[in-house]
Amino acid sequence: MHKIKNPNGTRIISRYSSFHSQAMFFVFEILNNVSFLVGFVRRLTNHDYGL
């Protein structure tokens, strides 16, 4: 592979990588909240149904 000196391409790549990292952080944040909510609901249903 040969490197092409293109400032626009590297700018697009860096912008995409920053967007990608933000999206991954957002997804992990949602997954953490969902797991917390699932544990909370499971804790609530433990007292009601004994599951």
Number of independent structural domains in the chain: 1
pLDDT tens sequence across 5-50: 666 667 777 777 888 888 889 999 999 999 999 999 888 887 665 5
The answer, as to whether pTM is greater than 0.75, is no
Residue 9 has what pLDDT? 66
Phi, then psi, of 50 in degrees rounded to 5: 70, 35
Asked whether residue 49 is assigned to any structural domain, the reply reads: yes
Asked whether residue 7 is assigned to any structural domain, the reply reads: no
Q: Round to whole Å and give the CA distance between 14 and 7.
A: 10
Asked whether residue 47 is assigned to any structural domain, the reply reads: yes
Average pLDDT over residues 1-8: 61
Domain of 44 in residue numbering reads as 27-51
Residue 45 has what pLDDT? 83
Task: Pick the more confident residue, 10 or 3.
Answer: 10
Asked whether residue 2 is assigned to any structural domain, the reply reads: no
Asked whether residue 48 is assigned to any structural domain, the reply reads: yes
